[in-house]
Amino acid sequence: EPRPSFPVLLLKYEDLAADPTAGCLALARLIRPNSSTADVAEAVSNSTFQRMRAIEEADIQNKRPGIFYKPYLQQSIDSGLRFMRNGAVGDGAMRLSPEQRSRLRSAFRPLLAQLGYSTG
């Protein structure tokens, strides 16, 4: 398999959730190699689920377009749907039907294997 001509970091949500500091440190080494330990600690504290949920709620309340609020999503927002659902590992997959999960496993089998996920 050919290697890309640019740096790649494989960072799974599960690993990031288990050890946010290690994940952010790896990311900082890639995109901001001069980051200090304090920079990484600040990034970790500013990206907790609770902090991101608070930003999302503020964006929605103030109708501030960005990552979390988009006017065309207003109907979904009004019905209670949020990007920041609950932050639990595996929650996204559990919201899919068994058939959808099967199709995704089939379509992404090589990538899933490369990342260490079960492909069965």
DSSP string of 36-104, one letter each residue: -HHHHHHHHHHTSHHHHHHHHHHHHHTT--SSS--GGGHHHHHTT--SS----TTHHHHTS-HHHHHHH
Output the pLDDT for position 88: 86
The stretch 28-33 carries a mean pLDDT of 95
The stretch 79-84 carries a mean pLDDT of 92
The stretch 60-89 carries a mean pLDDT of 93
Output the pLDDT for position 93: 85
The stretch 108-117 carries a mean pLDDT of 90
Closest CA to 61 of 45, 74, 79: 74
Answer yes or no: are the C-beta atoms of 11 and 30 closer than 8 Å: no
**From its phi and psi, is residue 116 left (phi > 0), alpha (psi between -120 and 50) or beta?**
left
Kindly report the pTM of this predicted structure. 0.72
